[in-house]
Chain A
Amino acid sequence: MSDIKLKIIDRDGELHEVDAPTDMNMNLMEVVRSYELAPEGTIGICGGMAMCASCQCYVKSDHQLPEKSDDEEAMLAEAFFVEDNSRLGCQIHITEDLDGLEVELAPAED
């Protein structure tokens, strides 16, 4: 099983290049938490059910990502700081196709 490389810009603007496993059933929000790139309690608050927007991120590279589910669309419609390239990290599954993905974490709501 192979790891992929991700580029994640944290909320302070710092770039982190991290390895993410494709065989651990992980999503992008969980990768961010596992590397503690955002303080605990400020990301993944709902646990990954697309019911808060604390894991919102902006996709900077032109990777083909899976379509947004209705739940993700609806949550992003109520989130703040939303841009055209906004996604919820918890809804992005880590797969080999995402090797080299670059994302920036959206600001925390408070």
Chain B
Amino acid sequence: MIKTDILIIGAGPTGLFAVFEAGLLKLKCHLIDALPQPGGQCAEIYPKKPIYDIPGFPEVLAGDLVDNLMEQIKPFQPGFTLGERAETIDKLDDGTFVVTTNKGTKHHAPIVAIAGGLGSFEPRKPLLENLAKYEDNGVAYMIKEPEIYRGKKVLIAGGGDSALDWSIFLANVADEVTLVHRRNEFRGALDSVEKVQQLKNEGKINLITPAEVVALKGENKLEKVTVKNTTTSDLTDVEVDNFIPLFGLSPKLGPIANWGLEIEKNAIKVDNTLDYQTNIPGIYAIGDVNTYPGKLKLILCGFHEATLMCQSAYQKIFPDKKYVMKYTTVGGVTGFDGSKKEAPKAVVKAID
């Protein structure tokens, strides 16, 4: 069981900054995120897009903002459970919480802060009639262990980086790799596109464009997929062992929606007059995942909400302690790793 002071669900910018504000109050944080890396949307959807409304940064790339936040919170040694989705929450008799992920990892904390953004990112599934029948039976939406495709006939659908990169990788593992995309153009890194071209020329990748998969066939497991040429409408059956649609990820509020929290407009209602607490005492919601009158889904608003949430969390954890907020220019930053940052002392010296 992982124990911490504030369990943060979602490792986007708001969740990461909460670690800093909590650290100033000597509270430890642990973060859970369904994605394999921290940064949330900034890292997953638009790392190369510039953001212009972070106070003090006339322009910053979303990916760089995440890197900066990770650097800023390093002294506070946050723990991470990445690639796992927070699934269930249990309130113990002493008022603390246990949050369990889809992989069974348990986290225990007196305070839970949901900074889940738009939700956890799930693979987008194509609209095919008997898709569910073949899930884990020839159809997969992510490649976890490439080795299971050794010697197999694999068909990948999609036109982005992951479709290109996995086609390239599996070309040397699988027996046959077919890549199907609705257009002739691919949206990916230039060298990936060129590499696929080269493998196609060498006969290692069978490229079918412009086309899409329209049907799946097979008795008990996937045996064939029907590919439709989108220009001629011709149908072709391709014999396959595996079909891997890679159409990117889309966010879903997911299991959090069933935690008994008040939900409005696909977001969690919070008390914005005070501390961004939800209807369940001890559970807060900050950043894009929450809603209140006048809510704006901006990173800078998430930072503010994270800051007030930490003050409230401190009061909840230490109801009897007196505390006043200290400026970092006055108190500096003392990390849990023993590091100390502070303003240099002014020199006091007489002038003769």
Contacts and interface: CB of A to CB of B under 8 A. Distances in A.
Interface of A: 39-42, 45-47, 49, 51-52, 70-71, 73-74, 77-78, 80-81, 109-110
B127 A74 contact: no
B345 interface: no
Contacts of A74: 159-160, 183, 185, 187
Interface in B27-56: 45-46, 49
A102 to B, nearest CB: 26
B247 A78 contact: yes
Contacts of A73: 183, 185
Contacts of A46: 45-46
In the A-B complex, the 7 residue pairs with the smallest Cβ-Cβ separation, listed nearest first, are A41-B266, A40-B265, A74-B187, A77-B183, A77-B182, A78-B247, A80-B127
B151 interface: no
A51 B49 CA distance: 11
Nearest to A44: B297
Interface residues of B, number: 25
Given A41-B267, A73-B183, A73-B185, A80 B250 contact: no
Contacts of B251: 45
A63 B181 CA distance: 29
Contact of B266 (A42, A70, A78): A42
Contacts of A77: 159, 181-183, 185, 187
A41 B248 CA distance: 18
B159 A40 contact: no
Given A51-B46, A77-B159, A77-B183, A45 B265 contact: no
B332 interface: no
Contacts of A109: 124, 250
Interface in B71-130: 118, 124, 126-127
Given A39-B266, A78-B158, A51 B45 contact: yes
A30 to B, nearest CB: 13
A82 B299 CA distance: 32
Interface in B219-261: 247-248, 250-253
B185 A78 contact: no
B118 A45 contact: yes
Interface string B164-204: 00000000000000000111010100000000000000000
Contact of A41 (B45, B46, B118, B124): B118
Contacts of B158: 78
Given A73-B185, A78-B160, A78-B247, 9 more contacts: A39-B266, A41-B253, A51-B45, A77-B159, A77-B185, A78-B158, A78-B182, A80-B124, A110-B252
B92 to A, nearest CB: 31
Interface string B197-223: 000000000000000000000000000
A78 B267 contact: no
Residue picked from B118, B252, B267, most chain A C-beta under 10 Å: B118
Contacts of A70: 185, 187
A84 B104 CA distance: 45
B80 to A, nearest CB: 25
Contacts of B118: 41, 45
Nearest to A40: B265
A70 B184 CA distance: 13
29 contacts: A39-B266, A40-B265, A40-B266, A41-B265, A41-B266, A41-B267, A42-B266, A45-B251, A49-B45, A49-B49, A51-B45, A51-B46, A52-B250, A70-B185, A73-B183, A73-B185, A74-B160, A74-B183, A74-B185, A77-B181, A77-B182, A77-B187, A78-B159, A78-B182, A80-B126, A81-B127, A109-B124, A109-B250, A110-B252
